[in-house]
Chains A and B, each alone.
Chain A
Amino acid sequence: MSLLRLEGIEAAYGAAQALFGVDLAVEEGEVLALMGRNGMGKSTTIRVICRIMKHSRGTVQFDGRDMARIPSHLAAYAGLGLVPEGRRVFARLTVRENLIAAARPGAWDLRKVTGLFPRLAERSSQLAGHLSGGEQQMLAIGRALMTNPRLMLLDEATEGLAPVVRQEIWAALDAVRRDTGLSLLVVDKSLAELGRIADRAVILERGRSVWHGAMADVPGDVANTYLGV
């Protein structure tokens, strides 16, 4: 049984339909890359999975549980950890407070998160809004880990960051995956980086999943047609 399974998901922003039939599955311990050009429904899919947005048709199952009627805060309780697009840390709380506020019992605690991102330990008492973009991203990932998720969803986790910082974040995610077996669903524009970390990929085009398979097997014509590379 898949850890997360989406079947025929349709969703809309008011009258504007954004998803027309998204199917995907994430297995336990797997890294799935959700790919597609801008505006193809990747972030909307993440929002539907995390219950920030309601879907109008189809099913979302997490760990065998239908998520349709679950409010977003209980989705996080069920084991979905979101690293939202644009980082979105709690700017007026300190780094430590951001982490503690989200904490739930489990393997990931303050010590382990600051071990993964030593910079967060250095900035512990600093307001999150005063951190650099990269540090805020590390904090957003750390905050998601503090909820001790079974599946972490990263929406454009390295967007707009310097190459060195991107490398640091990808290395940390790789270490998390390797050491803990945490499942990841990753949305990112960098095919090269996704290729290094992801096991499988799903490609979205105009709100539909049009291709899925092993990350290493993305055909050139598919990448060319749907990803513009």
Chain B
Amino acid sequence: MQREAVLNTLVFLALPAVAVIALVLDEPFAITLATRAAILALAAVGLNLALGLGGLVSLGHAVFFGLGGYAMGILASHAQSYAPLDLGLFVIEGTKSMPVIWLTAVFVSALAALLIGLLALRTAGVYFIMITLAFGQMFYYFNISWPAYGGEDGLSIYVRNSFPGLNTLDPIQFFGLVFAVLAVVLLIMGRIERSPFGLALGTARQNAARAETVGLSPFHLRLVAFVISGAVTGLAGALFADLNRFVSPTMFSWQMSGEFIVFIVLGGIGRLFGPVVGACLFVLLEHLLSGVSEFWLIYLGAILLFVVLFARGGVIGALAGRGAHHG
């Protein structure tokens, strides 16, 4: 077994181990922290397909995270107020069912990623970064000025949404659900990475012109990757909103997009478990360092600087060896 595979297995088992230990020690807050780490990891796993495998530095992935969050917020708020959502052509009752909310979040995020991708992917490099950032800011300011769903103050959902057979208000059960979603998405991403599509995406990242000469269309490959990536990040947004029972425009902020990139860089760009390691480290550091100083992000910045300068493959790269992956 390769060192990276061993490391991945350990990382994969660490999250539920933390949750189980916290359960035994009766520390529900630690379970919530593990849940938060798993959800942020899921968002970054989505971005990692576009960034790590496709080479697309998107500074607008918070759009999909926010859309997922607001899909949950809007559907749940209408269900809890018993006031149907009138869309003109049809009326939606709202729902408290997680599977329905997830499907809506995935669909809305994928659709947004398709539309944004159709425009943004006609550019490359710094222009792509700027266009995705611009879309992010558009959504952010739109939500700030949209009073119907709380505007700048956000929107609270009083009771966590339901999942058949589970008590989602129980922290460990909700963690189990989130972890299962993360595991399934990691499995799918692993398959995608090794599939002909994943390899073709890798060729487009390495040299688009060369990929074209063997019959591959970099634009279409990147668009598909961007849509899948957006959909996964949207799903994470819906779970994040359910964790906090609150959605606000900050889910659309460029800082959120930046944090996803930080997770990936910390863990290892293009590595399947890189975003998981990065998100867990981030949540851990946030928890530990914020107790030391309110300027804890300075310390995080120093750590990030160290990783970028001395561990280009991220934490996984440093531990497993840089050559182990396509990144």
In residues 33-78 of chain A, which contact B (Cβ within 8 Å)?
50, 52, 71-74, 76-77
A150 to B217 alpha-carbon distance, docked (Å): 20
Residue of A nearest to B327 (CB): A92
Given A73-B217, A102-B215, A104-B215, check contact A90 B196 (CB 8 Å): no
Report the bound CA distance from A4 to B299 in whole Å.
63
B215 to A93, Cβ gap below 8 A? no
Q: What is the CA–CA distance of A103 and B199 in the complex, to the nearest angstrom? A: 11
B209 contacts partner chain A, Cβ-Cβ < 8 Å: yes
Do B199 and A93 touch (CB < 8 A)? yes
* Across-interface contacts of B207 in A (CB, < 8 A): 88, 90
Q: Are B210 and A102 closer than 8 Å at their CB atoms?
A: no
Known contacts A84-B210, A90-B207, A101-B196: A77-B215 contact under CB 8 Å: yes
1/0 per residue, CB under 8 A from A, across B204-218: the answer is: 001101111111111
A76, B212: Cβ atoms closer than 8 Å: yes
What residues of B have a CB within 8 angstroms of the CB of A76 in the complex? 212-216
Distance in angstroms from A54 CB to nearest chain B CB is 14
Nearest CB in chain A to that of B214: its residue: A102
The answer to whether B212 and A90 touch across the interface, beta carbons within 8 angstroms, is: no
Question: Taking CB as reference atom, which chain A residue is nearest B201?
Answer: A101
Interface residue ranges of B197-252 to A (CB < 8 Å): 199-200, 202-203, 206-207, 209-218
Closest Cβ of chain B to A179, distance in Å, is 22
CB distance from A85 to the nearest CB of B (A): 11
List residues of chain B with CB within 8 A of the CB of A201.
none
Is A100 in the interface zone, CB < 8 Å from B? yes
Q: Which residue of A lies closest to B325 (CB)?
A: A92
Please measure, in the bound complex, the distance between the C-alpha atom of A92 and the C-alpha atom of B214, giving whole angstroms.
16
Query: In whole angstroms, what is the CA distance A8 to B57 when docked?
Result: 43
Task: Identify which of residues 89-117 in chain A touch chain B, using a CB-to-CB cut-off of 8 Å.
Answer: 90-93, 97-98, 100-104
Q: How far is the CB of A78 from chain B (nearest CB, A)?
A: 9
Contact of B196 among A52, A71, A100 (CB under 8 A): A100
Q: Is A82 an interface residue (CB 8 A)?
A: yes
Contact A92–B202 (Cβ < 8 Å) = yes
A50 to B209, CA, bound (A): 11
Minimum CB–CB distance for A88 against chain B, Å: 5
Taking the closest CB of chain B, its distance from the CB of A163, in whole angstroms, is 28
Taking CB atoms, residues of chain B closer than 8 Å to A101 are: 196, 199-200, 202-203, 211, 214, 216
Contacts of A77 in B (CB 8 A): 215
A38 to chain B: closest CB distance in Å? Answer: 22
Contacts A100-B196, A101-B196; A82 near B203 (Cβ below 8 A)? no
Q: Among B206, B217, B323, which residue has its beta carbon within 8 angstroms of that of A93?
A: B206
| Cβ B216 vs Cβ A102 within 8 A | yes
* Contact partners of B214 in chain A: CB under 8 A: 76, 81-82, 101-102, 143-144, 146-147
The CB with the most chain A CB atoms within 10 A, among B211, B212, B217, B218, is that of: B212
A194 to B123, CA, bound (A): 42
A93 and B213: CB pair below 8 A? no
How many Å lie between the Cα of A219 and that of B326 in the bound state? 52
List the B side residues contacting A72 at CB < 8 Å.
Answer: 209, 212-213
List, sorted by A's number, 15 A–B pairs whose CB atoms are closer than 8 Å: A73-B213, A73-B216, A73-B217, A74-B215, A76-B214, A76-B215, A76-B216, A82-B213, A90-B207, A90-B210, A92-B202, A100-B199, A101-B196, A101-B216, A144-B214
B residues neighboring A (CB under 8 Å): 196, 199-200, 202-203, 206-207, 209-218, 323, 326
State the 4 A-B residue pairs at the shortest beta-carbon distance, nearest first. Answer: A76-B215, A102-B214, A101-B199, A72-B212
A76-B216, A102-B214, A147-B214 known, 11 other contacts, Cβ within 8 Å:
A52-B213, A71-B212, A72-B212, A73-B215, A74-B215, A74-B217, A81-B214, A88-B210, A90-B206, A97-B202, A101-B211
